[in-house]
Homo-oligomer: A and B are copies of this chain.
Amino acid sequence: MDAGAETLFDRLLELTIVLGRDMDSELERSGLTPSRAHLLWVLNESGPSMQQTLAMTMEMSPRNVTGLVDGLVDGGFVTRQPHPSDRRAFLVTLSARGAEGVASMQAERRRLAMALFGQLSKGDMAATLRAMDEALTRLHELVEAAAARNGESS
């Protein structure tokens, strides 16, 4: 009976689909894929990092990080520097081109934020922010409840 919630949910899904397509095609123009862009973003926040650390931060297998870093090295976005004290490890490090990539992602984020929400009234913006925060809280509750139900394995 609560058609409002379902309508809102459908709009949210539609927005995420169109937004995702737009962001992905923008990345492609920089020579980046979504996964590689994510790694670049994380690297920008954490500074030069071991692949092991990246794997934990991004919650993926170390093997997967190897592949993403390979691609970023080929594209000139990062370099593998020798770790100063552990000869098994590398420090994945942003190159100048990598830093440019991060800068354009940041610019794109601002551009989209303004394009989508820049004209919103103060009241609507506050209400929408409340709705997003509320939804995130509920969603995290659901995820935790499901994890508890499944024995917390992962």
Binding site for B on A (CB under 8 A): 2, 4-12, 14-16, 18-22, 25, 109-110, 112-120, 122-125, 127-136, 138-140, 142-143, 146
B129→A127 contact, CB < 8 A: no
Classify the interface of chain A: helix, strand, loop or mixed: helix
A134 and B125 CA atoms in complex are apart in Å by 12
Given contacts A9-B117, A12-B15, A16-B19, 17 further A-B contacts (CB under 8 A): A2-B114, A4-B120, A4-B129, A5-B116, A8-B117, A8-B129, A8-B132, A10-B113, A14-B136, A22-B142, A116-B139, A117-B135, A119-B134, A124-B130, A125-B131, A127-B127, A127-B131
Is the CB–CB distance between B118 and A5 below 8 Å? yes
* With known contacts A6-B110, A18-B139, A11–B115 Cβ distance under 8 A: no
**Given B9, B15, B122, B136, which contacts A139 in the complex, CB threshold below 8 Å?**
B15
Would A8 and B113 count as touching, CB distance under 8 A? yes
Report how far A110 CA is from B19 CA in the complex, Å.
23
